[in-house]
Amino acid sequence: MLKDLITKNRSYRRFYEEVRISTKDLTALVDLARLSPSGANLQPLKFMLSNEEQMNKIIFKYLGWAAYLKDWDGPEEGERPAAYIVILGEKDPAKSYDYDVALACQSMLLGAVEKGLGGCIFASIARAPLSKALNIPENFRIPLIIALGKPKEEVKIEALKNNDVKYWRDEKGVHHVPKRSLDDLIVSF
């Protein structure tokens, strides 16, 4: 059921790093992005796949992990993502792809959940040094990156309290994500 996939699709930040993700599985996730809607059907996105240790280490060091968790610099070795999908868009003002990127990410993450995987979308990226490290041509920029792996953490959805949207971890390492109620979202004027 789609709602089950969406509910299981959390922002996971700790993984069983030793559980590898094949290039075939990454390609299948990109195929879901390919089949997703695209503004004016321009299909402007490209995707760089990483499931090898050395490239993963390069990508990892240019990502900002969990802004609300001030005392956490990201997962330790052994809990890092097994793979990444680096999303690329041409630096062409005639090619707007903000919506395409969001649709592609959601499709790929739902596909990951269906495969028993989880992921996290990153916008906090040191783009210029990462582009240089990955030899990405100057006519491309990195709007987002998806980190993927077999989730090693429990993520619980809970009711929003006092309008505080900040996620947090309890003493057992359970990641709590406050969500607004459905009644708070549906309005009439």
The predicted pLDDT at position 13 comes to 95
Q: What is the pLDDT of residue 90?
A: 87
pLDDT number for residue 94: 67
pLDDT at 52: 97
The pLDDT value given to residue 71: 87
pTM of the model: 0.93
Distance in angstroms (rounded) separating the CA atoms of residues 15 and 118: 8
Full pLDDT tens readout for the chain, 189 residues = 899 999 999 999 999 999 999 999 999 999 999 999 998 888 899 999 999 999 999 999 999 998 889 888 899 999 999 999 999 998 876 677 889 999 999 999 999 999 999 999 999 999 999 999 999 999 999 999 999 999 999 999 999 999 999 998 999 989 999 999 999 999 999
